[in-house]
């Protein structure tokens, strides 16, 4: 995926800071969409309009002005019909289709950095569609490789008053943290129904949580007791904010946490992503080099008198471009391994040395030099 380098470059040159991407995740009904709507209103009132993206293909109505709406690109009902899928399959497939175009979304976000400090991203109702799908990973990694990206895990506080349910919710949050490895904020939503202080106490005071568990007699509570020991470390560094998406309370505190999470991204995650990008690029160029060598071997003595082909500074070709007009990469691989090995080149060269073929090769080569030398 083409990751715009502009984010880091503009920062280094004192240009606009790259926008922070707030990826809003949470169980169905936890209040993600209402939260994004409230956040959008809040940021507008602060004179800081966000760039808003809706990734839920199945939502009937988006209650906020979305700059990008997956529903404009992918028609969820059509996808269901066309692929013979049920509702969940339809959502997953729609998201997959959208992920293939996410490089374009990245360009839009890059352009928005002059006007927006924040990018808000609402995700499908069913959390696993995003967190445990290939497209969710592609989208998350694309964002995180270019912009400070923060996961906001929205939970329904009013439905977490049972210690066992609370624990399950926290385990889920923990699994997402380990999956995405990104700065993380837990938003305890719906504090208009019940204050979140009971949950904070459970997280800070192990004894208090054990007391609550003692009221439970099911075997699950035994498991929960052991698990709570495991979660202690997760809690210790967790950012938690109580919010009511309906009333709009807790948002000032939320942005204090967002600022600290953004710093954490710059300090701990950015260097890691940069390192990853570099090692990926060098692995890619090594692969390209090997493919080129194989290609040159295959072509044998086909004349390519562009004059630069054998120079030590000759750029690495990208055979994938050649393959565009000559079949798929896999076919090319097979060809390299089998077919051409037992062809008598002296015989076939004659038929290959058609002027048209040579012209084609030379034109293709000229294009690569241009591309790689610019």
Ligand X SMILES: Nc1nc2c(ncn2[C@@H]2O[C@H](COP(=O)(O)OP(=O)(O)O)[C@@H](O)[C@H]2O)c(=O)[nH]1
Asked if 140 is part of the footprint of Mg ion (rule: CB under 5 A), the reply reads: no
Asked if 34 is part of the footprint of Mg ion (rule: CB under 5 A), the reply reads: no
Asked if 195 is part of the footprint of ligand X (rule: CB under 6 A), the reply reads: no
Q: Are 119 and 20 in contact (CB under 8 A)?
A: yes
Partner touching 280 among Mg ion, ligand X, none, CB below 5 to 8 Å by kind: none
Name the minimum Å distance from CB 98 to ligand X: 18
Contact residue for ligand X among 30, 149, 228, 291 (CB under 6 A): 30
Name the minimum Å distance from CB 174 to ligand X: 19
Name the residue with the smallest CB distance to ligand X.
31
Name the minimum Å distance from CB 126 to ligand X: 9
Binders in 122-141 for ligand X, by CB under 6 A: 125
Q: Which is nearer to Mg ion, 36 or 203 (CB)?
A: 36
Partner touching 192 among Mg ion, ligand X, none, CB below 5 to 8 Å by kind: ligand X
Partner touching 300 among ligand X, Mg ion, none, CB below 5 to 8 Å by kind: none
3-state helix, strand, coil in the chain (%, to 5): 60, 10, 30
Torsion region of 25: left, alpha or beta (phi above 0 gives left; psi -120 to 50 gives alpha): beta
Q: Which of 251, 233, 240, 169 is nearest to 201 (CA)?
A: 240
Tokens of 58: 């199945």
Asked if 33 is part of the footprint of ligand X (rule: CB under 6 A), the reply reads: yes
Cα 191 to Cα 199: distance, rounded to the nearest angstrom: 11
Asked if 196 is part of the footprint of ligand X (rule: CB under 6 A), the reply reads: no
Cα 63 to Cα 70: distance, rounded to the nearest angstrom: 14
Name the minimum Å distance from CB 31 to ligand X: 3
Contact residue for ligand X among 34, 224, 228, 257 (CB under 6 A): 34
**Of 176-184, 229-237, 239-247, 349-357, which part binds ligand X (CB under 6 A)?**
239-247
- 16 burial (CB, 10 Å; 0-12 / 13-18 / 19+) is middle
Instruction: Quote the distance between the C-alpha of residue 283 and its chain's center.
Output: 21
Q: Which is nearer to Mg ion, 24 or 258 (CB)?
A: 24
Residues 6+ apart with CB under 8 A from 278: none
**Of 189-197, 226-234, 282-290, 353-361, which part binds ligand X (CB under 6 A)?**
189-197
SS3 state at 122: strand
Q: Are 123 and 32 in contact (CB under 8 A)?
A: yes
Q: Which is nearer to ligand X, 33 or 94 (CB)?
A: 33
Q: Which is nearer to ligand X, 253 or 335 (CB)?
A: 253
Residues 6+ apart with CB under 8 A from 254: 39, 185, 187, 241, 243
CB atoms within 10 A of CB 31: 23
Binders in 186-205 for Mg ion, by CB under 5 A: none
Partner touching 28 among Mg ion, ligand X, none, CB below 5 to 8 Å by kind: ligand X
Cα 196 to Cα 313: distance, rounded to the nearest angstrom: 63
Contact residue for ligand X among 131, 135, 228, 244 (CB under 6 A): 244
Residues 6+ apart with CB under 8 A from 103: 1, 2, 142
**Of 28-36, 66-74, 207-215, 323-331, which part binds Mg ion (CB under 5 A)?**
28-36
Q: Which residues bind ligand X (CB under 6 A)?
A: 26, 28-34, 125, 189-190, 192-193, 244-246
Q: Which residues bind Mg ion (CB under 5 A)?
A: 32-33, 125
């Amino acid at each position: 995926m083409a990751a715009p380098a502009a984010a880091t470059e503009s920062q280094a040159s004192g240009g606009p800071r790259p926008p922070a991407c707030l990826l809003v995740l949470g169980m169905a009904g936890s209040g993600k969409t209402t939260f994004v709507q409230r956040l959008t209103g809040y940021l507008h009132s602060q004179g800081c309009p966000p760039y808003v993206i809706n990734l839920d293909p199945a939502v009937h109505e988006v209650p906020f002005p979305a700059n990008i709406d997956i529903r404009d690109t992918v028609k969820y009902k059509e996808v269901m019909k066309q692929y013979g899928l049920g509702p969940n399959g339809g959502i997953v497939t729609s998201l997959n289709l959208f992920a293939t175009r996410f490089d374009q979304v990245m360009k839009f976000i890059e352009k928005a950095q002059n006007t927006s400090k924040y990018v808000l991203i609402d995700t499908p109702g069913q959390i696993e569609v995003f967190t445990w799908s290939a497209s969710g990973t592609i989208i998350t990694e694309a964002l995180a490789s270019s912009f400070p990206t923060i996961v906001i895990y929205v939970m329904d506080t009013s439905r977490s008053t049972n210690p066992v349910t609370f624990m399950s919710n926290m385990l889920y949050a923990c699994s997402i943290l380990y999956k995405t490895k990104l700065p993380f904020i837990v938003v305890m939503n719906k504090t208009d129904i019940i204050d979140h202080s009971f949950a904070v106490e459970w997280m800070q005071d192990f004894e208090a949580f054990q007391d609550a568990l003692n009221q439970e007699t099911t075997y699950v509570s035994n498991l929960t007791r052991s698990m709570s020991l495991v979660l202690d470390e997760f809690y210790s560094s967790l950012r938690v904010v109580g919010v009511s998406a309906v009333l709009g309370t807790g948002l000032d505190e939320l942005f204090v946490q967002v600022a600290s999470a953004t710093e954490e991204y710059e300090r701990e995650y950015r260097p890691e992503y940069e390192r990853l990008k570099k090692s990926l690029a060098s692995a890619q160029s090594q692969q390209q080099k090997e493919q080129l060598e194989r290609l040159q071997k295959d072509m044998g003595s086909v004349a390519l008198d562009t004059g630069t082909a054998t120079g030590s500074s000759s750029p690495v070709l990208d055979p994938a471009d050649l393959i565009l007009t000559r079949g798929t990469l896999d076919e090319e691989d097979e060809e390299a391994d089998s077919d051409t090995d037992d062809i008598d080149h002296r015989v076939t060269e004659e038929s290959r040395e058609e002027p048209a073929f040579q012209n084609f090769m030379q034109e293709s080569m000229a294009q690569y030099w241009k591309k790689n030398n610019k």
